[in-house]
Amino acid sequence: MPWVGADGFNLQLFAEEKTQQPTPRKRRQARRRGQVARSLELSSAVLLLLAFTAVGWVGAYTGQQLLSVVHFYLSNLTAGEFTAESLRALALPAFAGLGKTVLPVALVMMAGGSLVNFGQVGFLLSVQPLTPDLSKLNPLVGLQRIFSRRALVELVKALVKVLAVGGAIYLALAGRLSDFVKMYDMGLEQAVGLIWQITHGMGLRIGTVLLLLAAFDYWYQRWEHQRNLMMTRQELKEEMKETEGDPQVKASQRKRLRQLAVGRMMEDVKKADVVITNPTHYAVALKYEIGEMEAPRVVAKGRQYTALRIRRTAEENGVAIVEDPPLAQALYASTEVGESIPPRLYRAAAEVLAFVYRLQNRV
CATH number of 249-359: 3.40.1690.10
Main-chain phi, psi angles of 190, to 5 degrees: -65, -40
**CA atoms of 281 and 197, how far apart (whole Å):** 92
The torsion angles phi and psi of 285, rounded to 5 degrees, stand at -100, 130
pLDDT at position 4 over 50 = no
CA distance 334 to 295: 14
Tell me the average pLDDT of the chain.
76
C-alpha 66/C-alpha 166 separation (Å) is: 30
pLDDT at 9: 43
- Give the residues across from 297 on adjacent strands: 287, 340
Top mean-pLDDT range of 129-138, 184-193, 197-206: 197-206
Q: Which of 67-81, 106-120, 141-155, 232-246 has the lowest mean pLDDT?
A: 67-81
Neighbouring-strand partners of residue 287? 297
> CA 300, CA 331: separation in Å to the nearest integer?
11
Which H or E element spans position 215?
A: helix 188-229
Q: pLDDT at position 13, please?
A: 39
In 3D space, the residue among 263, 326, 271, 316 whose CA is nearest the CA of residue 298 turns out to be 271
Task: Give the residue extent of every domain in the chain.
Answer: 3-12+21-241, 249-359
pLDDT at 5 over 50: no
Rounded alpha-carbon distances, angstroms, from residue 185 to 63, 180, 199: 22, 10, 20
7 confidence band (pLDDT: 50, 70, 90): very low
Percentage of residues in the chain having pLDDT higher than 90: 0
> 325: Cβ–Cβ under 8 A, 6 or more apart, which residues?
277, 278, 279, 282
User: Would the pLDDT of 204 be above 50?
Assistant: yes
- Tell me the pLDDT tens digit for each residue of 65-79: 666 766 666 666 655
Q: Where are the alpha helices (DSSP H) in 58-187?
A: 59-76, 84-121, 139-146, 149-174, 177-182
pTM: 0.50
